[in-house]
Structure 1
Amino acid sequence: MAKGNKSDKAEKTGKTNLHPTKNPISENIRGAMVELLQVHLATAVDITYQTKQAHWNVKGMNFIAVHKLFDELHELTEGYVDTIAERLTAIGGQAHGTVQAAVENSILEPYPLDLVKSEDHLKRLTDSYAAWSAAVEKGIEEASEAGDPLTEDLLTAVGRGLDKSIYFMESHFQS
């Protein structure tokens, strides 16, 4: 649970505060989906800047190709940040999209700051994308079980994009 983001009562009960909305999903489902989406928002912010970290610091014989790939992946993940935050707020949540919130709520391991070689960046980013992809699959199941097809669909689209990104990165070091 993020520090200072919820009232004392919500903090103690684990209940998410929701903004009033005419969204037809029940308050209980919306609360559960907001909590689910907060984790994915934090992870999306984290992976966006892990990817940018790799983009800024990559070196090697295939520099320009990998540098451009990381920039394209960064733009793609930035889109996930916006899409997730907008869904979260559409169902009455308050998006926690700051770097500090990402640090507290991301499922990813911190990205090493000393990587240089393109293959090292590719492998490490692939690990992060794969970890998030696995979490997205669980989120899809959770949204389905909760009866929120729109959140399920959003996460399915994110998962498809993550799988494609993993394929693009792995193709550099698979034989």
Structure 2
Amino acid sequence: MSAIRGPLSDEARTVTGKALQGMVVDLTDLSLVAKQLHWNVIGRSFRSVHLQLDQVVDIARRYTDEAAERAVAIGVNPDGQVGTIAGQSKIQAVEPGFIQDEKVIRAMTDILADVITRMRERMDTTEQPDPVTQDLVIQVIRELEMQHWMFQAMV
């Protein structure tokens, strides 16, 4: 039993906790994949792609922490351990080594689209049990959709 118990019912805490854990997994892995691409991008658009990837990393890391702290605030223990992230992530791994900028742009566009789809599902599932968490999900979606648009515009 958690020593921290928020105002949510057990059912609402379960639904919301699952959404928040999914956010922790998606955002942690998104930051790792974006950093991997950041280190290995090459090509004519190197600098702009390199810098844009750092923005994705910053957003993902900031909101990972917010999602994890929201989970704790409602009495749910987040799990950001590497084994959990590796076992639960739905983000496709990227190829090792140097990657041409155009491939990086396409990969990030696809990855962001997938993460956004899952975030929108979490937005829907948290609407009734916890509008506060839904607000956090909406903030994440807003930031990720802007990044998605920016990567699409580079193609």
Q: Which band: TM-score by shorter chain? A: over 0.9
Query: Does 1:93 pair with 2:76?
Result: yes
One-letter amino acid matched to 1:26 = S
What's 1:154 paired with? Answer: 136
Displacement of 1:107:
2.3
Higher RCO (CA-CA < 8 Å; seq separation 6+) = 2
> What is the root-mean-square deviation of aligned Cα atoms in Å?
1.3
Q: 1:51·1:125 contact (CA, 8 Å) conserved in 2?
A: yes
TM-score (norm 2): 0.94
The alpha carbon displacement at 1:22 in A equals 4.3
1:169 is displaced (CA, Å) by 0.8
Aligned residues: 155
What whole-Å deviation, never above 9, does each CA across 1:87-145 have from its counterpart, x for those lacking one?
Answer: 11111111101222111112222222245101101110111111010111111110013
Q: Counterparts of 1:54-133 in structure 2 under 5 Å? A: 54-114=37-97, 116-133=99-116
Unaligned runs of 5+ in 2: none
> Which of the pair is proportionally richer in helix?
2
Cα deviation 1:58-106 (Å, max 9, x = unaligned): 0011211111111122111111111111111111111101222111112
- Unaligned ranges ≥5, structure 1: 1-17
Aligned residue in 2 for 1:19: 2
Residue 26 of structure 2 aligns with which residue?
Answer: 43
TM-score, normalization: structure 1? Answer: 0.83
Identity of aligned residues (%): 26
